[in-house]
Chains A and B, each alone.
Chain A
Amino acid sequence: MAILLSSNAQWVLVSTFLLGIAAGLIGTLSYWKQQSLMSDALAHAALPGIVLAFIVLREKNLLVLIIGATISGLIGAFCIQWIRSFSRIKDDAAMGMILSVFFGLGIMLLTIANRLPGGNQSGLESFIFGQAAAMVKQDVYIMSLLALVVILAVVLLFKEWKLLLFDPAFGQGLGLPIRFLNGFYTVLLVLAVVIGLQAVGVILIAALLIIPPVSARYWTHSFKGMLVLSALFGGFSGAVGTLISAMGSGWPTGPFIIVTAACLFLTSLIFGLEKGLLVQYLLHRRQKRSVSPKPIPPDWGMPPKVREG
């Protein structure tokens, strides 16, 4: 448990906890926007930005890398939008293309960056699967701060998000700046994705935005309840996954966080109060029991006879 002994250990835990909360919150918004896989595309699209920022600066300054990642993620989002609206290529194909082509560009640049003097020790690879242990104090502060910004933005604008997601026409009628809110949502989404890159990694950060809301959905029907639960699930996965990955040397953080989230999902799928498998099974059985003792009428399924007289 090296991570617990080191000086900034608790801080790393706090930051992955906050990251999980932020991801769970913004993930709920994208769940209802029906854009779950968008975060996956954005995360992959952020890779070239990270590497380019490193090549230009020649040092691993997390803030600059995050700015690079944000710009490149936003370019990716713009490209998806552009392909979707100006050609007959569908949504999913556009996302798949941007995701893989940007990732390819990122890998090209990464190979070049590794050849630069000092590039080999840069630890840029840790961005692919996430390495929370590689974070220094400054990284932790930046990450926690940005996660707090995302959390506050979702919580403070709760009413606005609700209107935007469920009745944008009504919101427009109330004078809500829908276009601005949509843009702001994309910025928050990209932000939540890029701050998670160092801890969870390019490939799996999307899962931290996708899995908690889907799990929360099994417990509640209310939007507010879903936000709270999803945030809790995300935060729990972030913290516990970080702890587990700290038990082995060189174990990547991202996969453990995601597997923790997946365990929560499985629990919700089975025991969840709304549409959980167990509840559904019990309901089904009770219904069968309440129905089956009655004798089935002999003309079951026949058209009702017209009574004469």
Chain B
Amino acid sequence: MSYTAWILLTASLVGLTCGLVGTLLILRRMAMMADAISHTVLLGIVIAFLATRSLHGIHMLVGAALAGLLTAFLVQWLHARGVREDASMGVVFTTLFAIGVILIATQVGNAHLDVEHALMGEIIFIPFNVTQLPVVGEVPLATLTLLIVTILVIALILLFYKEWKITSFDPALAASLGIPVGLMHYLFMTMVSVTAVASFDAVGAIMVVAMLITPAAAAYLWTDQLRIMFVLSGLFGVLAAFIGYYTAVWLDTSVSGSMAFATGLIFLVSILLSPKYGLLGKRLRPAQGEVK
């Protein structure tokens, strides 16, 4: 496959996974948790890097998953001790992120991990770092990781589809049915962290928030059905990847930045044009009462 094709494939995988995970984020009202986790994943990556001196492989995913779980746990713990949830989130993730940045600036120095890479992603370098697979031949390492994570995410969503649905829309009912709501919460947090770290190479720590939240929020404006929302959100993510890549090539600028910006454009179109919840849709149906 050509250079461009690999980049587009990687970016689309980011869009797809983030779109799917993001749907649950929006429905569970945990959008800012994605922001928090995507920041603290940096600390997990730095510590995994300091421990193994390598930037790839399974330990990155494990480190990130642990950092994500730690964030979720600490936020919950502080919240249980009387700190308001948004404030406890703000305390936890900024502190962990600051520790991560200090570690990079003082310990890792000019090694392979630098702060700018961590923030902006380096999607244009992804095709150069390849690994050999038995049947398909050379595959970029980051793409392979993303592919595995995407399959994992899709499998988990399909496997527990009913459980996700009930725990997202009616946690009380879910608990009374005997579904382990707390366990599902931490499983979900793990999914978010693993998705964030797999997308890390491609889009960086902050733009992954755009990929997670915005396509799903746009999809939320088009439909009331969970199944359709999943599909739409994944599609919007892939669409943003394509728009973002070609915009970046056209303007000769950062691919991850324009991918994030493209999700914003998709959302803008959705909020204006969506027939049911968009502004235009509301304007065209003035007779109906406001239904919330």
Measuring CB to CB, which residues of chain B are less than 8 angstroms from any residue of chain A?
26, 29-32, 34-35, 39, 81-84, 86-91, 94-95, 97-99, 101-102, 105-106, 115-116, 119-120, 206-210, 212-214, 217, 220-221, 248, 251-254, 256-261, 263-264, 267, 271, 277-279, 292
Q: Is the Cβ of A210 less than 8 Å from the Cβ of B292?
A: no
Question: How far is it, in angstroms, between the C-alpha of A100 and the C-alpha of B277 when the chains are bound?
Answer: 23
Partner of A31, one of B87, B214, B221: B87
Q: Which residues of A contact B258 (CB under 8 A)?
A: 104, 108
Q: Is the Cβ of A96 less than 8 Å from the Cβ of B105?
A: no
Question: How far is it, in angstroms, between the C-alpha of A103 and the C-alpha of B101 when the chains are bound?
Answer: 18
- Binding site of B, secondary structure by majority: helix, strand, loop or mixed? helix
Q: Is the Cβ of A104 less than 8 Å from the Cβ of B220?
A: no
Q: Which residues of A contact B251 (CB under 8 A)?
A: 108, 112
Q: Which residues of B contact A219 (CB under 8 A)?
A: none
Question: How far is it, in angstroms, between the C-alpha of A141 and the C-alpha of B97 when the chains are bound?
Answer: 30
A194 at the interface (CB under 8 A from B): no
Can you list 12 A-B pairs, Cβ within 8 angstroms, ordered by A?
A36-B90, A88-B292, A89-B221, A100-B35, A101-B263, A110-B254, A207-B94, A207-B98, A210-B91, A211-B95, A255-B97, A277-B81
Within 8 A of B (CB), among A230-283: 248, 250-252, 254-256, 258-259, 262, 265, 269, 275, 277
A59 at the interface (CB under 8 A from B): no
Minimum CB–CB distance for B31 against chain A, Å: 4
* Top 4 A-B residue pairs of the complex, sorted by shortest distance between their CB atoms: A104-B260, A207-B94, A101-B264, A107-B257
- Binding site of A, secondary structure by majority: helix, strand, loop or mixed? helix
Minimum CB–CB distance for B169 against chain A, Å: 14
- Type the 1/0 row for A120-137, where 1 means its CB is closer than 8 Å to any CB of B: 000001001100000000
A159 at the interface (CB under 8 A from B): no
Question: Number of contacting residues on A, CB 8 A?
Answer: 59
A111 at the interface (CB under 8 A from B): yes
Q: Is the Cβ of B98 less than 8 Å from the Cβ of A210?
A: no
Q: Is the Cβ of A99 less than 8 Å from the Cβ of B101?
A: no
Q: Which residues of A contact B212 (CB under 8 A)?
A: 96
Minimum CB–CB distance for B243 against chain A, Å: 12
Partner of A36, one of B81, B84, B120, B220: B84
Partner of A104, one of B30, B88, B89, B207: B207
Most buried by B among A35, A93, A210, A265: A93
Q: Which residues of A contact B119 (CB under 8 A)?
A: 107, 128, 203
Q: Which residues of A contact B99 (CB under 8 A)?
A: 255, 259
Q: Is the Cβ of A99 less than 8 Å from the Cβ of B209?
A: yes
Knowing A88-B292, A103-B260, A255-B102 touch, does A214 contact B35 (C-beta < 8 A)?
no
Q: Which residues of A contact B257 (CB under 8 A)?
A: 104-108, 110-111
Q: Is the Cβ of A256 less than 8 Å from the Cβ of B102?
A: yes
Most buried by A among B90, B208, B292: B90
